[in-house]
Amino acid sequence: MSLFPGKRPVTLVLILSLLWLGMPPLARAAVIPTDKAIEFQETARFSSGVAATLARADVRAEFLALGVAPGEVESRLAAMSASELQRLDDQLTALPAGGVFLEILGVILVVLIVLEFLGVTNVFTKI
């Protein structure tokens, strides 16, 4: 006579589920060709460099001003091939650090200095 009558099916289900949990999962492994491994490493390297540049606050603000969502930028970045990422990384590193802002600031400063020497304005005497 059993202490718990009618509990035999529940006990069997619990025993089977515990046995199932103890089984190791199947693993599938294959050899990766060298060219694919190199391409994967290059993609990761260029992707991290480009992502770091695009993650800057000023770059994100410019994207938002142009109406591009940050999620869209990240999804397009993930879809790029290794050669596209390398070309984009090369273009980003070739850009000047200050961009157009420093050029405009320099031109304004030169114009103010020339106007000051000609006596048209008194900008630098007030400073």
Contacts of 54 (CB under 8 A, 6+ apart): 60, 63, 73, 77
pLDDT value at residue 98: 60
Mean pLDDT (the chain) is 76
What is the domain partition of the chain in residue ranges? 33-95, 97-127
Q: What is the pLDDT of residues 40-71, one digit of tens each?
A: 888 787 777 777 777 778 778 877 887 777 77
When comparing pLDDT for 91 and 31, which is higher? 31
**By C-alpha distance, which of 85, 1, 79, 5 is closest to 41?**
85
pLDDT value at residue 79: 77
The pTM score is 0.43
The two structure tokens encoding residue 120:
């048209």
